Chain A
Amino acid sequence: MARLILRRVALGILTLFLISLVVFAAVLALPGDAATAILGKEATPERLAALREQLNLNDSVITQYLDWIGGVLTGSFGESAATQQPVSELLSDRVANTGFLVFVAAVIAIPLSIGIGVWTAMRRDRPVDHVVSTTTLVLAALPEFVIGIGLILLFATSVFTWLPAVSLLAPDERAWSEPSVVVLPAATLVLAVTPYISRIMRGSMIEVLESEYVTMARLKGLPERTVIWRHAVPNAIVPAIQVTALQLAWMAGGVVVVEFVFSYPGIGSLFIDAVDNRDMPVVQTITMFAAAIYVVLNLLADLATIAVTPRLRTEAR
């Protein structure tokens, strides 16, 4: 088992290295270079030369990459080209808000979608199953900003006016001190990921319910609740682990759009501002983090799958 885990970790590190090359290469694609991007087209040649010297742009591409990746690994991500603030400072102001939003969404979405999956699997082909399956088919199709704006139209403007349409927070205020601003953004994320997890859970639960050992457990006369929750769900949940990891990683991109819809002061809206200003240090740092989250979550999902699958646990030994 240790060899299998080690192999997965090594592959993860290799993937992260290749990702960092792609992210770094984005600066090379800048028309002109980073110095002209910061100072603009009207900058004098002297100032450009000075800034190039300061940013080490005269070094070889390899040296520049090593400088950059060294900074990323030690937590110094450079300075924002737009505000001259350290990128780490900009991020630390916002990361708690985004973390809270994603946490709330995940804590609601995961049990909810697994519950829906189990519930509809047990009522297979009955009217409720069809209603839920049509609903998830529609929700899965809708882009997240369409869901978000739909929720604003319903709950913040015309029909009901219960919740704020815009998540306004004072700069030193955190999202959890004003919970009403989190409700609609979190609901958007929940509605966006629930269809996928619940559909996979339903499918794998149906398969397990038809298996011989579930029939066996029923024949032994175990109460139905024990059959479902002790025997069927723990096995049916394995495919859902991978999908849940994918959905959580998707949220790293999803929050960008959702935070913009609600003007929620998190990493996502910081990212949009940075793309707007072509502030490459900020864009690169956030991109690197989003991709790393995917690699780490996938690794964790693989490990969790190994841990809950006895066959893999022994085979890999």
Chain B
Amino acid sequence: MTDQTVERALDLIPEAGPEAPPPRLQRFQWLGILRNAARLTRTRIGLGMVGLIVLIAVFGPVFAPHSPTEFIEAPNHGPTGDAIFGADALGRDVFSRFLHGGLSVLWMSAAATLIGVVGGTAVGLVAAYSRNWLDDVLMRLNDVVLAFPQIIFVLLAVSAVGPKLWLIVLTVGITHAPRVARVMRGAAQQIVERDFIKAEEVAGEKRSRIILEGLLPNVTSPLLVELGLRMTFSIGLIAAISFLGFGLQPPSADWGLMINENRLAITVMPWGVLLPVLAIAVLTVGTNLITDGIARAAIGLERSNE
């Protein structure tokens, strides 16, 4: 889980070649990329996988036959007509806990991704635009956060402050930010040198407007790829932190926590582990397929522009 797509994302930016690129790239480039991505089989499979898990997570609680905290059977009891996937290590219905346990992973990952991508894009664009000491300072600070393995940074914060959900979301977002910033800076550096940015500067346009309306619309391809990539990694990190026991606390129903609670009984009652593990796997593979589809669509779009 690292930053391999950096090179790939950078490839997406058209080179400012001598053959005089268009004065301003199209404004709604990202809509075109998404439309093209949606035509690819892999994107459709990914959307189907993510859609399935989102449906389970959002509407699952409505269909759960039992309360997630109700004791219905002997601990680790096998499947019965009433509990179709058996009972967990404490005798609660595995299926009901599974249906209740998806929403927390989804909202936490989405929030962390948003924090990381918005923060990272802001840092990356400002650094690329400034081209002075500010760029150096921002990139040096970037390196500092990059040096921490993401999960270790989050757990350092958790051991200082305690297992708070907001803290986990925030720190996962913070560890994403420098990774996003590096990609966005690289992408924006090539746009900053274009004539239309220079023209806006000469015309005395406000800096924030040049960054938001001049730079941002022209780096949407790497931005979309980063969004998908960081979402995949957020899900893995958030689920892992829950699995380690530092996310939602018992008796909450949460996929990561479920795996932790039932893993010692894995030989007797594999369902309590298998259902949440499968759900997380389907979700992350789905988001990665969508990301790959977007990256391919973006490369295709750049090629057709040439």
**Is A264 close to B, CB under 8 A?**
no
**Is A121 close to B, CB under 8 A?**
no
Cβ–Cβ contact B159 & A196, under 8 A: no
Q: List 27 A-B contacts (CB under 8 A).
A: A15-B140, A26-B157, A137-B292, A138-B285, A141-B284, A142-B236, A142-B285, A143-B236, A144-B240, A149-B277, A196-B4, A239-B7, A247-B2, A252-B149, A252-B152, A253-B149, A254-B149, A256-B149, A256-B151, A271-B155, A275-B158, A280-B159, A280-B160, A290-B148, A290-B149, A291-B148, A295-B147
Cβ–Cβ contact A141 & B288, under 8 A: yes
**Is A312 close to B, CB under 8 A?**
no
Interface of B is mostly: helix
Give complex CA distance A31, B237 in Å: 25
**Is A90 close to B, CB under 8 A?**
no
Chain A, residue nearest B149 (CB): A253
Chain A, residue nearest B291 (CB): A141
Q: How far is the CB of B179 from chain A (nearest CB, A)?
A: 11
Interface of A is mostly: helix
Cβ–Cβ contact B160 & A27, under 8 A: yes
Within 8 A of A (CB), among B224-278: 232, 235-237, 239-240, 243-246, 259, 263, 266-267, 270, 273-274, 277
Cβ–Cβ contact B232 & A253, under 8 A: no
Cβ–Cβ contact A26 & B156, under 8 A: yes
Chain B residues, Cβ within 8 Å of A274: 159
| Known A149-B273, A253-B149, A274-B159; contact A200-B243, beta-carbon cutoff 8 A | no
Within 8 A of B (CB), among A264-314: 271-272, 274-276, 278-280, 283-284, 286-287, 290-292, 294-295
* Other A-B pairs, 9, CB within 8 Å; known A257-B240, A287-B153, A291-B152: A11-B140, A31-B162, A141-B284, A144-B236, A145-B239, A153-B277, A158-B270, A257-B243, A276-B246
Most buried by A among B152, B153, B246: B152
Give complex CA distance A146, B236 in Å: 9
Chain B residues, Cβ within 8 Å of A143: 1, 235-237, 239-240, 280, 284
Chain B residues, Cβ within 8 Å of A14: 140
Chain B residues, Cβ within 8 Å of A214: none
10 interchain residue pairs of minimum CB distance: A253-B149, A143-B236, A141-B288, A291-B147, A29-B160, A26-B160, A141-B284, A275-B159, A294-B147, A18-B144
Residue from B159, B245, B284 in contact with A283 in the complex, judged by beta carbons closer than 8 Å: B159
Give complex CA distance A279, B160 in Å: 9
**Is B289 close to A, CB under 8 A?**
yes
Interface residue range, chain B: 35 or more
Within 8 A of A (CB), among B194-245: 232, 235-237, 239-240, 243-245
**Is B96 close to A, CB under 8 A?**
no
Give complex CA distance A183, B81 in Å: 39
Cβ–Cβ contact B151 & A257, under 8 A: yes
Residue from B2, B155, B232, B267 in contact with A196 in the complex, judged by beta carbons closer than 8 Å: B2
Give complex CA distance A254, B296 in Å: 29
Within 8 A of A (CB), among B28-73: none
Q: How far is the CB of A221 from chain B (nearest CB, A)?
A: 34
**Is A23 close to B, CB under 8 A?**
yes
Chain B residues, Cβ within 8 Å of A237: none
* A 128-168 binary contact with B (CB < 8 Å = 1; else 0): 00000000011011111110011011000110000001000
Cβ–Cβ contact A278 & B240, under 8 A: no
**Is B146 close to A, CB under 8 A?**
yes
Cβ–Cβ contact B144 & A256, under 8 A: no
Chain A residues, Cβ within 8 Å of B157: 26, 29
Within 8 A of A (CB), among B147-181: 147-153, 155-162
Chain B residues, Cβ within 8 Å of A286: 152
Cβ–Cβ contact B266 & A153, under 8 A: yes
Give complex CA distance A134, B248 in Å: 33
Residue from A150, A196, A279, A283 in contact with B156 in the complex, judged by beta carbons closer than 8 Å: A283
Give complex CA distance A56, B18 in Å: 64
Chain A, residue nearest B150 (CB): A253
* B 1-32 binary contact with A (CB < 8 Å = 1; else 0): 11110011000000000000000000000000
Chain A, residue nearest B237 (CB): A143
Residue from A19, A29, A137 in contact with B147 in the complex, judged by beta carbons closer than 8 Å: A19
Chain B residues, Cβ within 8 Å of A26: 156-157, 159-160
Chain B, residue nearest A166 (CB): B264
Give complex CA distance A287, B144 in Å: 13
Cβ–Cβ contact B1 & A271, under 8 A: no
Most buried by A among B4, B144, B156, B292: B156
Chain A, residue nearest B158 (CB): A275
